Structures are given as C-alpha cells and as structure tokens.
Amino acid sequence: MPESNGGHEAIIVAGGASGIGFATVKRLLANWPDVKVIAADIHLGVLEEFQKEIGTDRLLILKSDITSAQGAAQVIIESAQWAKSLTGLVVTAGNSTNHSSLEMTPEQWKEVRDCHLDGHFYMNQAFARNLVANKTGGAIVNFSSVAHIFAWPRRLPYAVAKAGIDALTRTLAVEWAEFGIRVNAIAPGYVNTAMVINAQQAGYLDPSLVDMHAMKRFSEPDEIAAGVQFLLSTEASFITGEILTIDGGFSVNKIPWHK
C-alpha cells in the first residue's frame, strides 16, 4: 500500500458519484485516513448516503457542472474554502452516446465533447491555477480510454474526445512541470460499472467482448481506482505525461489465443 497519505491533504474527484469515480472516492478515504476528499458530480447519486457513513469532516460533496470554466472554477473555490490545501485532482466525469456518424446532430457531437474534453481542460486549468497561486505542487489524474486506439463505430465523439484528453494530458504535463504539478491519465478498458452491467443484461454488449480480454474478464471499478491511487502517490513522483492502460490485455490481444 502507498504511504499513509500519498503526500496529499485534499483530493478532488470530479465525477465521483458513480462507477470508477465513486470507487476512487471510497479507496482514497479507506487507504489514506489523513486525506480529505471532495466528490463533485452533476448528479449526487449515492454520495449523500455515503457521506453519512464517512462524515462531513472527511468528505465534501458538491453538485457541479464542469463543462464550463465557471462551473469548474466554482468547484475549486468551494473545495479550497473547505480544505486547507488542495493537492490532488481526479477527473472521471464522462458520458457516451450511440449514433451513426452520418446522422449525428451538432448537439449530439457537442454533448460528448463538452463533458469529456471541455470538462477535463477546465478542471485541470482551475486546479492548476490554485496550485500555482499558492506555490504548491500536486498531481492530476485524467481519464482517457482504450476506445480511441482502434475504430469504434457509432461512438465517434467519445473516441475523439478521449484522444484529445491524451494530448491535453501530455501537453499540460510539460507546461506545468516547472510548478511541481504532475499530469497523467488512465485508459481503462471495459469495467464492471452499473452502466456496463445493465448493458450486458439488456443484451446491448456482444458477449464475445469478455473473451477479447487476455484475462477473460472485465475490470472491477476498484482495480482502476488502484491505478488512480498509484499515480496520485509519491511512489509515482517521477511519472508525468503518461497514459496508463488498465484493460486486462484487451487492447493488445490482437490474435485469438487458445492454449
């Protein structure tokens, strides 16, 4: 397990109400008992009940929309008022759609781009501005996806936005290194979130997808959260500008292998 608090005092998780984001909130609070967490999301989901269990002294929940510069800045303002020092940011907020590229409307293209690409940039920028103003370093973990390294029909804006997040992560890592800010990203494969499980049960996901993973299963959300914790920790102190793929061998399993 990483050191007692990972070098952090307070960490923001944008998109912390469900899936990987909520798993990250739970893992950080459980493994780093001295760390405070701010969970921000447009829908609060299970956060309010979870806060009753954890306590308001360790977990702040914020209803927020980070697809605008103003919304992201407000998250930082409220977080800074609550916590002594902001040192970590995780951006898991995202959405997806299923549309033919020929029939896609400008609104359908924009809603995915806004949530992923704009949300990541505005949160990264607002967080970094706080760190630079206070002359403190910190760590950022963004969320990419393996979806942009191969063709994914009917998911064009999602794949394009995730490719943009890779570029954003690498560029900001170089620009902000002088301020002691590390910027990395995680690219998950298929994860057993509620959305994926429901899609499987409804027959929307091809059952053969599981066998396309070298490990013959999807990830659990906490396995992705473990990667987040590592990249936030001082054990990753010399890692910046990297995209960590966590997909159980999905993206590298190009040739079917049957022993």
Q: Is 158 a catalytic residue?
A: yes
Residue 190: name the closest of 168, 217, 227 by CA: 217
User: What number of CA atoms fall less than 13 Å from residue 129's CA on the CB side?
Assistant: 13
Q: Are strands 36-41 and 10-14 parallel, antiparallel or unpaired?
A: parallel
Q: What is d(CA 257, CA 223) in angstroms, rounded to the nearest whole number? A: 24
Q: What is d(CA 155, CA 100) in angstroms, rounded to the nearest whole number? A: 8
Q: What is d(CA 81, CA 101) in angstroms, rounded to the nearest whole number? A: 44
Q: What is d(CA 182, CA 254) in angstroms, rounded to the nearest whole number? A: 32
- Helix, strand or coil for residue 156? helix
Choose the catalytic residue: 122, 158, 190, 204: 158
Residues designated as active site: 158
